[in-house]
Amino acid sequence: MDNVSTWAEKDLKYIWHPCSQMKDYEELPPIVIERGKGIKLFDVNGKEYYDVVSSWWCNLLGHCNPRINAAVKKQIDTLEHVIFANFSHKPAITLCEKLSKVLPKGLCKFNFVDNGSAAIEAAMKVSFQYHAQTGNPQKKRFMALSDAYHGETIGALSVGGVDLYSEIYKPILLDIARIEGPDCYRCPYGKCRDNCSCECIEKAEKTFEKFGNETCALLVEPLLQGSAGMRVYPPLYLRKLRELCDKYNVHLIADEIATGYGRTGKMFAFDHAGVSPDIMCLSKGLTGGYMPMAIFVTTQKIYDAFYADYNEGRAFMHSHTYSGNPLACSAAIEVLNILEDENIIEKAQEKAIYFNRIIKEKFLLHENVGEVRSIGLINAIELVRDKINKIPFDSKLRTGYQIYKKALQKGVLLRPLGDVIYFNPPLIITPEEMDFVVNVAYDCMTDVLGR
Question: Model confidence over 68-91: pLDDT tens digits?
Answer: 999 999 999 999 999 999 999 999
pLDDT at 28 over 80: yes
Helix residue ranges per DSSP H, 364-424: 399-409
Q: Which spans in 114-167 are helix H?
A: 116-133, 154-159, 163-166
Q: How far is CA 448 from CA 110, 266, 302, 412, 443, in A?
A: 48, 35, 52, 16, 9
- Tell me if 203 sits within 8 A of 211, measured CB to CB: no
322-372 pLDDT, tens digit each: 999 999 999 999 999 999 999 999 999 999 999 999 999 999 999 999 999
Q: Is the pLDDT of residue 4 over 80?
A: no
Does pTM top 0.95 for this prediction?
yes
| Mean pLDDT to the nearest integer, 385-402 | 97
Domains by residue range for the chain, with CATH: 69-341 (3.40.640.10), 343-424+431-446 (3.90.1150.10)
Q: What's the pLDDT at 2?
A: 60
Per-residue confidence (pLDDT) for residue 5, from 0 to 100? 80
Q: Which residues contact 126 (CB under 8 A, 6 or more apart)?
A: 111, 279, 296, 298, 302, 306, 316, 318
Q: Which residues contact 342 (CB under 8 A, 6 or more apart)?
A: none
